[in-house]
Amino acid sequence: MTIAEQFRINATLALKDADASKKTLGTTLTDKIEAKAADKLQTLKLAEQIAEMQNVLYASRDRKLLVILQGMDTSGKDGTVKGVFGQINPLGARTVAFKAPSNAEKDHDYLWRIHREVPGKGEIVIFNRSHYEDVLITRVHGWIDQAECERRYAHIRDFERMLTETGTIVLKFFLHLSKAEQKRRLEERLSDPDKHWKFDPQDIAERAYWDAYQRAYEKALMATDTDSAPWYVVPADSKTQRNLVIASIVMEALNNMHLHFPPGNPEYSKLLID
């Protein structure tokens, strides 16, 4: 079983807190600290391999990779970008953080600002939040009804199918955090002067909708999981394990692209005379 298969969303998903901290990656090291260090080292190696592969992706200028990160506040979307994609040359990789839409964005369909940012040939783009907010926060707060939500699931499936059929690999990660771990992380932001800037009172307001968010995520993930644009549910209570799982799945996807540098043109050597 590949790591991708192991974390691919189930046919009947129920987001349980227990699964957020589940340790599923085996290790032969018994000592907990050493196991964690080994996982970190392994992630770093993968991050370096991903960076190398990105170079080939860029040079062969054919395929495109879109990584979508979703998760509750403090689930570690920024940390994933840093830990998994931090070794990549910024030339061929881009992170896009989608915030509340601007007025110009609100004037258009909700996929308009998303489509603008999808990767071009040879590019890796990481979405920190995405069009999935348009079936999550909007649904939790009742800004759209269930019928509109179902229409959007269909738009999203269609849109992602078009992307995959035109050469984009789409990987979607739900960073599955437990409610208790979120509390711990919010407390840390309040007490640690170096992390205080990350605290946003709005996060507390959204935390009150925790159960509604879990249900909205369950529905959205189930409705938009397809073989060409799969959802992975990644236990995110441990940052180390979260990065290792995501790095492993990204690396598997890059390997499956069978990328190689384009062949050289022997005629070119003749051009350089002196």
Contact residues: a second copy, CB under 8 A: 61, 104, 106-112, 115-116, 118, 120-123, 151, 155, 158-159, 161-163, 165-168
Comparison of 166 and 269: residue with beta carbon closer to a second copy: 166
Q: How do 168-176 and 231-235 pair as beta strands?
A: parallel
Q: Which is nearer to a second copy, 169 or 186 (CB)?
A: 169
| Spatial CB neighbours of 80, under 8 Å, sequence gap ≥ 6 | 69, 173, 175, 242, 243, 246
Shortest reach from residue 248's CB to a second copy, in Å: 28
Nearer to a second copy, 123 or 225 (CB): 123
Nearer to a second copy, 152 or 176 (CB): 152
- Minimum CB distance to a second copy, residue 111 (Å): 7
Residue 116 Cβ, how far from a second copy at the closest point, in Å? 6
> Residue 109 Cβ, how far from a second copy at the closest point, in Å?
4
What is the nearest approach in angstroms of a second copy to the Cβ of residue 229?
14
Tell me the closest approach of the beta carbon of residue 164 to a second copy, in angstroms: 10
Burial class of residue 119 (count of CB atoms within 10 Å of its CB; 0-12, 13-18, 19+): buried
The residue (of 9 and 111) whose beta carbon lies closer to a second copy is 111
Nearer to a second copy, 83 or 122 (CB): 122
In the bound state with a second copy, the residue whose beta carbon lies nearer, of 106 and 184, is: 106
User: Cβ of residue 254: shortest distance to a second copy, in angstroms?
Assistant: 19
Q: Which residue has the tokens 């860029």?
A: 58
DSSP-assigned states of every residue in 56-123: HHHHHT--EEEEEEEESTTS-HHHHHHHHHTTS-GGGEEEEE--SPPHHHHTS-TTHHHHHTS--TT-
What residues contact 265, with CB distance under 8 A and at least 6 apart?
A: none
Torsion, Cα 187 193 194 197, to 10 degrees, reads: 70
- The values of phi and psi at residue 171, to 5°, are -120, 130
| Residue placing its CB nearer to a second copy in the complex, 35 or 111 | 111
190 φ/ψ sector (left φ>0, alpha ψ -120 to 50, else beta): alpha
Q: Which residues contact 93 (CB under 8 A, 6 or more apart)?
A: 54, 85, 123, 124, 125, 126
Q: What type of residue is 5?
A: E
**Min. distance of Cβ 148 from a second copy in angstroms?**
9
d(CA 53, CA 259): 8
